[in-house]
Amino acid sequence: MMNIWDKLLNLDRRFIYLAVFLAAIIPFLFPVGLEINPTQEVISIYNFIEELPEGTAILLAADYDPQTEAENGPQARALLRHMFKRNLKVIIMTLSQDGAALAEMLTKSIAEEYEKEYGVDYTYLGYKPYPSIIILSIGQDFRISYPADFYDTKLNDIPMMREIKNYNDLAAIIQIGGGNVSNMWLTYAQERYKVKLALAVTAVSGPQYYAFLQSKQIFGLIGGLKGAAEYETLLESEYDRLHLHKKAIQGMNVQNFVHILIIALTIIGNIAFFMKRHPKHMKTKG
Amino acid sequence: MNKVLDTIISKLYIAELFNYLNNCIDIVIGAFNTEALSMEFVWNTIAAFFTIAIFSFLIKDNTLYKIAESIVVGIAAGYFTILLLWTSFKPKFWDMIVVEGKWWYVIPGILGLLMYFRFNRKLNWLARYPLALYIGIGSGIAIPLMLQTFVIKQFKATMLPGNLHSWEGVNNTLIVIMVLAGLIYFFFSVPHKGIVGKTATFGIWVIMIGFGASFGYTVMARVSLLIGRIQFLLGNWLKLIE
């Protein structure tokens, strides 16, 4: 006859999926506000943007696709809101083939919130294939890879782009994505042209980029939904002013409950495993 | 008595269920009454259907999941082909030669076509020319920059001055000790005995801490994706949350 430990170790995995699913749904319906403390690597990016003079040009590379929208989307929204709030001139582009429409939607919706004018306050360049070649070519001139913007308007006909030639005319690049494309920005933009770079990456990629923070190759790092929630916390008054929805903060509240469940399941699973290996148990079984 | 109670309760539940369904139908009809809202609702419903179809795999592999998977793969392949055609072939090849008359753009076009000779056994050697050019240029640009980015700069960041008077100094000292211990674990030319063995054991602990941090972040990433979908289902689709 199976004892409780055997039952636990042979538990149908679908019960665990159900438990995780419930732990992710219930806090949405009955929210509990938990405190979010911004970390230094996120504060660095916030302070950098905060201290830039109005009208400075900055590049936002939204290199993410629908698969990671849940993490990168809130990061991109928070960053773009901050840039528009500070009246910076923002160039948005994407090197992810599935990200062109996402980046366009993001740009349009946030520009509408802040009543920004296309071509004067921001420009959307769209998608181009072969990331490393594009990154290298921008170092010489945006016009090599992007003779025209996403809507086929020549860059020279866009007012804010007339004064911008290459990385030298930008205060920094903030890249959102993670994985290979982030490595390419590090190699072909930061290392080759010594441009200031910060990364907003998925949580899976987060740990590998802390090394670049230590080596000062990047000046800030936003990791996953947690990083986005930290940025939203720093922008809190702005969210309240515009009556906006703090999606990452809401998500992190739920995340905490799922983590508690996963930790509990890990502990129970380990206890069951060791109890089954315990000599007394083996004897009883024999 | 129990039967009576059961009947009342079941009827009450049925009545509640009936009311709930009525409300749902009202919401759907209401959504269709406004043109803009109806389109949003239709698209969100399609997205919700695919989300649920993909999640149904967790119960077991099924036809609904396979349909959703095939549609995603098909759309992605078709989308990418057209995207490449419009962002690469048209502006960089067709427009350059036909519209702007820059005939020399035929050369990279021919080199690109040579790649397809890989499918011919007798002439597949022709495919080596574009590959040689591509790998040659790529390596020439990438190797020195990657060496700087991922090796030399990381070496420098590992060897920062350490001391025991400040947190930064302690951190730098710990980095040196832990990196050396981790490297010794992978040094198999000397038997892992005595001081080498103890350092290697410490090294494996360091590596495990690293793996633990990565695993924690990975769990957080996966849960974030689930949260994103639930935010969509409960918020954008059902409007149950903000």
Half-sphere exposure of B89 (CA within 13 A, CB side): 10
Touching A: B residues 181-240, CB under 8 Å: 210, 213-214, 217-221, 223-231, 234, 240
| pLDDT value of residue A282 | 57
Res. B29: pLDDT tops 70: no
* Same domain assignment for residues A78 and A142: yes
If one counts every other C-beta atom within 10 angstroms of the C-beta of residue B235, the result is 17
The answer to whether residue A35 is domain-embedded is no
User: Where residue B203 falls among pLDDT bands split at 50, 70, 90?
Assistant: very high
CA distance B74 to A182: 27
- The per-residue pLDDT for range B39-63, each reduced to its tens digit, is 888 999 999 999 999 999 999 999 9
| pLDDT value of residue A179 | 78
A22 closest CA partner among A193, A261, A216, A192: A261
Residue of A nearest to B89 (CA): A129
Residue of B nearest to A213 (CA): B157
CA distance A172 to A198: 8
CA distance B200 to B27: 64
In chain B, which residues have their Cβ closer than 8 Å to the Cβ of A244?
none
Res. B27: pLDDT tops 70: no
- The per-residue pLDDT for range B63-116, each reduced to its tens digit, is 999 999 999 999 999 998 998 898 889 988 999 999 999 999 999 999 999 999
Cβ <8 Å between B218 and A251: no
Mean pLDDT, to the nearest integer, of B224-238?
A: 93
CA distance A64 to A77: 13
* Same domain assignment for residues A276 and A180: no
Residue with the two structure tokens 């399609």 = B46
3-state secondary structure at position B121: coil
User: Where residue A97 falls among pLDDT bands split at 50, 70, 90?
Assistant: confident
- Of A67-71, A170-174, A240-244, B115-119, the range with the lowest mean pLDDT is A240-244
Mean pLDDT, to the nearest integer, of A41-66?
A: 97
| pLDDT value of residue B12 | 47
Res. A286: pLDDT tops 50: no
Cβ <8 Å between A191 and B157: no
DSSP 8-class letter at A198: E
The answer to whether residue A263 is domain-embedded is yes
Specify which residues A62 forms β-bridges with: A176
Residue with the two structure tokens 């590992």 = B158
Mean pLDDT, to the nearest integer, of A196-210?
A: 95
| pLDDT value of residue B124 | 93
- The per-residue pLDDT for range A9-48, each reduced to its tens digit, is 889 999 999 999 999 999 988 888 788 999 999 999 999 9
* Same domain assignment for residues A186 and A97: yes
Mean pLDDT, to the nearest integer, of B130-154?
A: 94
- The per-residue pLDDT for range A225-266, each reduced to its tens digit, is 999 999 999 999 888 888 888 899 999 999 999 999 999 999
Res. B28: pLDDT tops 60: no
At A213, list the tokens.
Answer: 């923070």
* Same domain assignment for residues A178 and A117: yes
DSSP 8-class letter at A68: G
CA distance B79 to A195: 33
Mean pLDDT of chain A: 92
Please check whether residue A92 is in contact with residue A118, taking contact to mean a CB–CB distance below 8 angstroms.
no
The answer to whether residue A103 is domain-embedded is yes
* Same domain assignment for residues A13 and A86: no
In chain A, which residues have their Cβ closer than 8 Å to the Cβ of B219?
259, 262
Alpha-carbon distances, residue A157 vs A93, A120, A127, A147, A154 (angstroms): 18, 11, 19, 10, 5
Q: What percent of chain B has pLDDT over 90?
A: 72
What are the structural domain ranges in chain B? 1-33, 160-242
Touching B: A residues 7-46, CB under 8 Å: 14, 17, 20-21, 24-25, 28-29
* Same domain assignment for residues A45 and A103: yes
Query: What strands, in cross-sheet order, belong to the sheet with A221-223?
Result: A122-127, A89-94, A57-62, A173-177, A197-201, A221-223
Q: State the ipTM, two decimals.
A: 0.88
Cβ <8 Å between B224 and A255: yes
* Same domain assignment for residues A107 and A216: yes
* Same domain assignment for residues A165 and A235: yes
The answer to whether residue A132 is domain-embedded is yes
Phi-psi region of B221 (alpha: psi -120 to 50; beta: other; left: phi over 0): alpha
Res. B10: pLDDT tops 90: no
Per the structure, the complete domain to which residue A70 belongs is given by 40-245
Element (H, E) at A89: strand A89-94
CA distance A94 to A125: 8
| pLDDT value of residue B241 | 85
β-pair type (A221-223, A173-177) = unpaired
* Same domain assignment for residues A241 and A256: no
B62 touches chain A (CB under 8 A): no
Please check whether residue B68 is in contact with residue B53, taking contact to mean a CB–CB distance below 8 angstroms.
yes
In chain B, which residues have their Cβ closer than 8 Å to the Cβ of A68?
225
Split into its structural domains, chain A has a count of: 2
Option in A127, A203, A217 nearest B221 (CB): A203
CA distance B232 to B238: 8
B84 touches chain A (CB under 8 A): yes
| pLDDT value of residue A32 | 81
- Rounded CA Rg of chain B: 31
Half-sphere exposure of A271 (CA within 13 A, CB side): 10
Cβ <8 Å between B224 and A100: no
Mean pLDDT of chain B: 87
User: Where residue B17 falls among pLDDT bands split at 50, 70, 90?
Assistant: low
Res. B14: pLDDT tops 70: no
Contacts of A97 (CB under 8 A, 6+ apart): A65, A127, A129, B79, B80, B83
Tell me how long chain A is: 286
CA distance A241 to A106: 20
Res. B5: pLDDT tops 50: no
Option in B87, B142, B149 nearest A186 (CB): B149
* Same domain assignment for residues A71 and A13: no
Option in A28, A203, A258 nearest B234 (CB): A28
Contacts of A199 (CB under 8 A, 6+ apart): A174, A175, A176, A178, A182, A185, A209, A212, A218, A220, A221, A222
If one counts every other C-beta atom within 10 angstroms of the C-beta of residue A219, the result is 19
Helix axes of A224-234 and A40-51: crossing angle, nearest 10 degrees: 50
The answer to whether residue A120 is domain-embedded is yes
In chain A, which residues have their Cβ closer than 8 Å to the Cβ of B148?
191
- A interface test, pick of B168, B220, B237, B241 with most A CB neighbours within 10 Å: B220
Q: What percent of chain B has pLDDT over 70?
A: 85
Residue A49: give its domain's CATH number: 3.40.50
| pLDDT value of residue A176 | 97
Chain A: closest CA distance from residue B11 (Å): 28
The answer to whether residue A154 is domain-embedded is yes
User: Where residue A279 falls among pLDDT bands split at 50, 70, 90?
Assistant: low
Option in B156, B220, B230 nearest A224 (CB): B220
Res. B23: pLDDT tops 70: no
Chain B: closest CA distance from residue A55 (Å): 30
3-state secondary structure at position A61: strand
A:B CB pairs within 8 Å = 127
DSSP 8-class letter at A191: I
* Same domain assignment for residues A146 and A221: yes
User: Where residue B33 falls among pLDDT bands split at 50, 70, 90?
Assistant: low
* Same domain assignment for residues A226 and A258: no
B59 touches chain A (CB under 8 A): yes
Cβ <8 Å between A250 and B231: yes
Tell me how long chain B is: 242
User: Where residue B9 falls among pLDDT bands split at 50, 70, 90?
Assistant: very low
Option in A188, A206, A224 nearest B145 (CB): A188
Touching B: A residues 161-200, CB under 8 Å: 183, 186-188, 190-192
Q: What percent of chain A has pLDDT over 70?
A: 97
B151 touches chain A (CB under 8 A): no
Residue of B nearest to A24 (CA): B227
